[in-house]
Chains A and B, each alone.
Chain A
Amino acid sequence: MTRFETRERGFALALLGPALLLLLLITTAPLIYLGWTSLQRLDLGMPWLSGLAGVDNYAKMSADPRFWNSLALTFVYTASTVLLQVVLGLSLALLVLQIPRGQGVLRVAAILPIVLAPVVVGLFWRTLVLAPDFGLVDLVTRALGLGSHNWLGDPQLALISVIAIHTWQWTPFAFLVLLATLATLPPDIYEAARLDRATAWKRFVHITLPLIRPAVVMVVILRTMTALSAFAAIFAATGGGPGSSTEILNLYAYRTSFSELNLGYGASLAVVLLAITLAVSWLLFRRRRAPA
């Protein structure tokens, strides 16, 4: 190896090393500590019970209905929000593509939900939009004769409401990305397709969809990660309730650790969430690398 290459390596190490070390310190070390904590009984409300507990927490988890509920909710929440975002985002992008003059304004409007703090979004919706009697949604439903509802207080409606909130905030992301991607598609292949007598629907299915597949996959990956770790908006809107009707795994772990102060069990819940997140991302990445 030449001096030239050695110096390049040394330079790279000097530039990357500090960041890597920092990351190791602030992410990997705490995660190890998390794993360790999950193997303990650590209940700040009942400190006399603390001590090593082995896999007790995990055993307890498998018999815990609230855990299974949170798992199911996580799945429903993630799947529905991501699906809605992609479908809505794509449809809107396709429609907006046909209004060249409106695109600029709409892109700016799309920014607003994305830059707001999720906690503020949750509060907005809770107070101004979904509040019974004078919230925006209630006004509309009352005007339409559908009556007033307790959008966040009713267990069924609460889940739908938080899904709506998340979708509202993040659909613009899918919209912007897909709009940008659609704009880069070369027009001549569409002209060729029209000459080949392909209808609009066929052109969409056979040309547009395959070409935007990488962008769609990427949106799905990113949005899934966000949905799995969604916290602030739900916390602000419902706190996980009513009861446990919007308590996704994320929130369950939080409540267990910081409301009920049972940090050992909370840690084990967090470990499960971590495992699920890594597994899902690995699967999605594999799909991305798989040939179309």
Chain B
Amino acid sequence: MNKQGSVAIQGVVKRHGSVTVLHGIDLEIEAGEFFVLLGPSGSGKTTTLRILAGLESVNAGNVYLDGEKVTDKEPGERDVAMVFQSYALYPHMTVAQNIGFPLKMVGQTGDTLTKAVADAADKVDIGHLLDRRPGQLSGGQQQRVALARAIVRQPRLFLLDEPLSNLDAKLRMETRVELKKLQRALGVTAVYVTHDQEEAMTLADRVAVFMDGRIVQVASPKEIFGRPAHASVAGFIGTPPMNLLAATWQGSDVFLEGAGRVRVGVTSTDARPVTLGVRPADLRLAPEGLAARVELIEELGDSHIVIATLGSERVKLRTEPTSPLREGDRVQLGLTPDAAHLFDRATGARLN
């Protein structure tokens, strides 16, 4: 068996009763990739993960692991390991027994078992906790036990279901880094589900963005950030997310009602209704441009977020902490042509 860890999902449809949860998903994941499934709650990313694990059936389509069709295979037969959001540790067993369980189930015993358990535990730094029970561990430690249990049998695929969501913010940041390092060191393909776009951006080699049961874009984090393929993706990524404004595109200008116009780098012959996307960091104070009025200023310490009204819509922009802006000020905002993202108003598809 070719054990590399490449994944292919073709045309997978999933229904729950009369509700269609997945509308035909196609995905290809390369061996060794850290691949993130990103999307808001209910977008179908967790369902997709569970289908990969074999915990859910499909109504149509197929799943391939290393070229082998596994759609009908049992979870235990796919050589896949999963870290659950709640960790699903066996509370009546010690940490060592928890980690050793998958090996015990395939008949390993004795010294080989003990050594494998110790190795896995060391990789996540819990070698000193082997005799404790899950109930005696902190959240972070429990999460590592779950990881160790997944690692110990050297599967060809790791599935992680929002493994960091139960940790506090600081621990989450630290664990993120360690997770990535661990995956690099082991070289195992990892499929990671999260709704936190920051997590996705920092961890992923590539990201698949899910919206309402469909994959809207598959690309590297840089590409998703720089060239979101859809307005919904644009509005989801970034802290704070991209500003999306209703506008009309004609010629090489985009007109915003009641505010003015901006020059963009592409030309349209007819007047097209569009959604103009511009990142808060790309909006600048200009001597001439779109008319806006400052509503509120959020002081974050190393930068300010200015919330302003532009025509009938609200925008956010970032400024230096030394900015002299005050609430109620009237300003002009501008952006460079390549900072403009244009999306069709009706479909949300990217136009430039």
Contacts and interface: CB of A to CB of B under 8 A. Distances in A.
A164 B72 CA distance: 64
Contacts of B71: 2
A2 B78 CA distance: 14
A89 to B, nearest CB: 35
Contacts, number: 15
A7 interface: yes
Contacts of A289: none
Interface string B67-78: 000011111000
A1 interface: yes
B54 interface: yes
A1 B58 CA distance: 9
B4 interface: no
B16 to A, nearest CB: 14
Contacts of B74: 3-4, 7
A200 B72 CA distance: 62
B57 interface: yes
Interface string A1-33: 111110100000000000000000000000000
Contacts of B73: 3-4
Contacts of B75: 4
A7 B54 CA distance: 13
Contacts of A7: 74
A175 B294 CA distance: 64
Nearest to B58: A2
B51 to A, nearest CB: 11
A1 to B, nearest CB: 7
Nearest to A2: B57
Interface in B68-100: 71-75
Nearest to B75: A4
A133 B74 CA distance: 76
A96 to B, nearest CB: 32
Nearest to A4: B74
Nearest to B57: A2
B272 to A, nearest CB: 47
A4 B54 CA distance: 8
A68 to B, nearest CB: 51
A7 B75 CA distance: 12
Nearest to B74: A4
B180 to A, nearest CB: 32
A3 B74 CA distance: 7
A5 B71 CA distance: 12
Nearest to A3: B72
Nearest to A7: B74
A3 B70 CA distance: 11
A4 B71 CA distance: 10
Nearest to A6: B72
A207 B72 CA distance: 53
Nearest to A1: B57
Contacts of B54: 4
B76 to A, nearest CB: 10
Contacts of A2: 57, 71-72
A5 B75 CA distance: 11
The winner among A1, A2, A5 for most chain B CB atoms within 10 A is A2
Contacts of B57: 1-2, 4-5
A1 B59 CA distance: 9
Counting chain B CB atoms within 10 Å of each CB, which of A3, A4, A5, A7 scores highest? A4
B10 to A, nearest CB: 16
A5 B57 CA distance: 8
Contacts of A5: 57
Nearest to A5: B57
A154 B72 CA distance: 75
A1 B72 CA distance: 9
Interface in B25-68: 54, 57
B9 to A, nearest CB: 16
A4 B75 CA distance: 8
Contacts of B72: 2-4
Interface in A82-141: none
B284 to A, nearest CB: 50
A8 to B, nearest CB: 10
A212 B318 CA distance: 53
A47 B3 CA distance: 81
Interface in B220-264: none
A2 B72 CA distance: 6
Nearest to B71: A2
Interface in A21-66: none
A55 B322 CA distance: 98
A76 to B, nearest CB: 49
A4 B51 CA distance: 12
A7 B73 CA distance: 11
A2 B74 CA distance: 9
B352 to A, nearest CB: 44
A34 to B, nearest CB: 41
B69 to A, nearest CB: 13
A107 to B, nearest CB: 27
Nearest to B54: A4
A5 B74 CA distance: 9
B316 to A, nearest CB: 37
B328 to A, nearest CB: 40
B212 to A, nearest CB: 25
A4 B74 CA distance: 6
9 contacts: A2-B72, A3-B72, A3-B73, A3-B74, A4-B54, A4-B72, A4-B73, A4-B74, A7-B74
Q: Which 10 A-B pairs have the closest CB atoms?
A: A2-B57, A2-B72, A3-B72, A4-B74, A5-B57, A4-B54, A4-B57, A3-B74, A1-B57, A4-B75
Given A3-B74, A4-B54, A4-B72, 12 more contacts: A1-B57, A2-B57, A2-B71, A2-B72, A3-B72, A3-B73, A4-B57, A4-B73, A4-B74, A4-B75, A5-B57, A7-B74
